[in-house]
Structure 1
């Protein structure tokens, strides 16, 4: 099997080198960049399976780089930050990141998250049944095979997590889904204090598919229970 390539983006050389050692020991190829500008240039020149992206960097920070990256790329992004406040985490996830880890971090935890994100991105998607390849939600069309979403004739660019969430909820149209159930079915991990993570991705998804995100037509909140999709 061809080795998967991880892009490590951090302005601190010691951190880049430390992460590289642990990833190399797990059999991954690595590419390193010291800022957001270099990161964006790298993904245009090389195939990258996952990005580990620091937030606080010169030239272009991780938030800006992630938002620009999401215009064209869909690989998993794990954000690193020395900040631990909830709003910083929400900002990172809102910009398009799939996961968030606060510095100082345990390298073994980072490796576990890398494996989890790659498993979701490749293995689990490859195992999905090919039936029901096109789902519809009123004027929204979701092509499972090509992972394309259109609202009428307009293409909607979703991140990997946003697409998985929309697919899962659409397949369960009319059913009230708890935050825990959404997390475990989309992230394929045990639910551990992840309510904010689901909430942020729901909000981003609404911003992309709803005409009025404050008064959603498709993704409804069922207060005290969870969310449901309605046609």
Structure 2
């Protein structure tokens, strides 16, 4: 799916204008809002394909707004913030953001990151069409057509990235997948770092942790990850 409409949410008008100038050159339609309330109104009126979201805004902050969006939609979200700490980046990714960009990044880099997310969505669309295809390992079941996951017959709510990661791991059960391979397969860009992969894998593990008899995502130190069945005792 190619992006058409991008929503920029930021209380700094000059940042909105700068980003608009760069993104319009790439033939995106740009919508803007200066706070979460205004953005929410736009989301009800226009089909938005991607959101660039500031964190520190008057009223509802970006983290809270992201959490609210994720209850209803998997629309790609890229945080754009002056905060550069790992804690903020981890929190943003944990809430389901697709990327976290600091405001010191050049507009051209931000455009590149938007395009990177766009390519990933094109490779891993939200829905598939056709006869249902299901991957199953032990009590973990992944439906490729409905993009749904069941663990011990219970639905598990995953973000788009978490689903794609689990799909890749299950397709390659028992094989060690390097960070580089995972980034190339899931993100298909040269801007995503190992840290982002670790955060998303940690989120995926947490959502599956309460279920027993599921395959494990094992960390291979300094290399990547391996999915394998739990040893039966």
Equivalent residue number for residue 148 of structure 1 = 148
Equivalent residue number for residue 19 of structure 1 = 19
- Relative to 1, partners in 2 of residues 1:189 and 1:2: Cα closer, same or farther, differing over 3 Å? closer
Partners of 2:3 and 2:118 within 8 A in 1 = no
Equivalent residue number for residue 83 of structure 2 = 83
Partners of 1:9 and 1:33 within 8 A in 2 = yes
Partners of 2:151 and 2:211 within 8 A in 1 = no
Q: CA deviation at 1:91?
A: 1.5
Q: 5 Å matches for 1:26-65?
A: 26-65=26-65
Q: TM-score, normalised by structure 2?
A: 0.86
Partners of 1:49 and 1:118 within 8 A in 2 = no
Matching of residue 211 in structure 1 with residue 210 in structure 2: yes
Partners of 2:134 and 2:141 within 8 A in 1 = yes
Equivalent residue number for residue 68 of structure 2 = 68
Structure 1 distance, partners of 2:16, 2:192, is 29
Which ranges of structure 1 fall in alignment gaps of 5 or more residues? none
Structure 2 distance, partners of 1:149, 1:72, is 17
- Relative to 1, partners in 2 of residues 1:153 and 1:41: Cα closer, same or farther, differing over 3 Å? farther
2:57 aligned counterpart, secondary structure: coil
Structure 2 distance, partners of 1:94, 1:221, is 19
1:30 aligned counterpart, secondary structure: strand
Structure 1 distance, partners of 2:83, 2:215, is 35
Matching of residue 221 in structure 1 with residue 219 in structure 2: yes
Equivalent residue number for residue 199 of structure 1 = 198
Q: What is the count of residue pairs matched by the alignment?
A: 226
Structure 1 distance, partners of 2:100, 2:170, is 26
Q: TM-score, normalised by structure 1?
A: 0.87
- Relative to 1, partners in 2 of residues 1:54 and 1:181: Cα closer, same or farther, differing over 3 Å? same
- Relative to 1, partners in 2 of residues 1:211 and 1:3: Cα closer, same or farther, differing over 3 Å? closer
Structure 2 distance, partners of 1:6, 1:173, is 37
- Relative to 1, partners in 2 of residues 1:25 and 1:84: Cα closer, same or farther, differing over 3 Å? same
Equivalent residue number for residue 186 of structure 1 = 186
Matching of residue 7 in structure 1 with residue 7 in structure 2: yes
- Relative to 1, partners in 2 of residues 1:38 and 1:207: Cα closer, same or farther, differing over 3 Å? farther
- Relative to 1, partners in 2 of residues 1:130 and 1:182: Cα closer, same or farther, differing over 3 Å? farther
Structure 1 distance, partners of 2:208, 2:41, is 29
Deviation string, structure 1 residues 74-97 (Cα, Å, up to 9, x no partner): 121111110112222111111111
Structure 1 distance, partners of 2:42, 2:111, is 22
Equivalent residue number for residue 175 of structure 2 = 175
Which 10-residue stretch deviates more, 109-118 or 177-186?
177-186
